[in-house]
Each structure stands twice: as C-alpha cells, then as structure tokens.
Amino acid sequence: MGTKLYKVTCKGMTLDITGAPWGVAYVLSENAAGAYTKLRNFLDEQDVGFRKDREMDKVELVATSVEVTHYPDSLMRFIP
C-alpha cells in the first residue's frame, strides 16, 4: 500500500492568526482513518480545545506518493 499525505480538518480550531491552526494538519498515514486518528491522538495528548472541536470534519487525500526529506517551517501543522 504505502504512506500517503492527507489534509485532516477538525470541526473546530481551524483559524489562528498567530500560527498554525490546531484543527488543520497534514498527516502521513496509510489510510484516511489512520490520518484522523493520528491527529486526534495528538490533540488529545496536547489537551487542546474542546472535545467537539477535535471531531473530524473532513479528510482529503493530498498525495499518494510521499518522500519526506525535511519538515519545512510553515503556518501549517505537520504530523509524520
């Protein structure tokens, strides 16, 4: 199968004027469910936002073939 890149968007925490929004992340995973689970576990561990804000809104497939050579500094959250 292989690792794919997904954009995961939660129901809340999607806007942030000072940095990367907590509720939107690019996640490496083998499937969409795994991508959401990775983000949800990350948010739960960080204890960020309310539970209802951490629920999934959508998962979008961005790339089917991914080779990560570095993690760029950006205003988006990236979870390998």
User: According to the model, what pLDDT value does residue 34 have?
Assistant: 96
* Token code pair at residue 57: 């809104």
CB 80 within 8 A of CB 39: no
Residue scoring higher pLDDT (78 or 11): 11
User: According to the model, what pLDDT value does residue 18 have?
Assistant: 75
pTM: 0.81
Residue scoring higher pLDDT (41 or 65): 41
Residue 56 pairs in a beta bridge with 10
How many domains does the chain contain in total? 1
Instruction: For residues 76 and 36, give the distance between their C-alpha atoms in angstroms, rounded to a whole number.
Output: 16
Work out whether strand 4-10 and strand 56-63 pair parallel, antiparallel, or are unpaired. Answer: antiparallel
Q: Which domain holds residue 65?
A: 4-79
Instruction: For residues 69 and 45, give the distance between their C-alpha atoms in angstroms, rounded to a whole number.
Output: 26
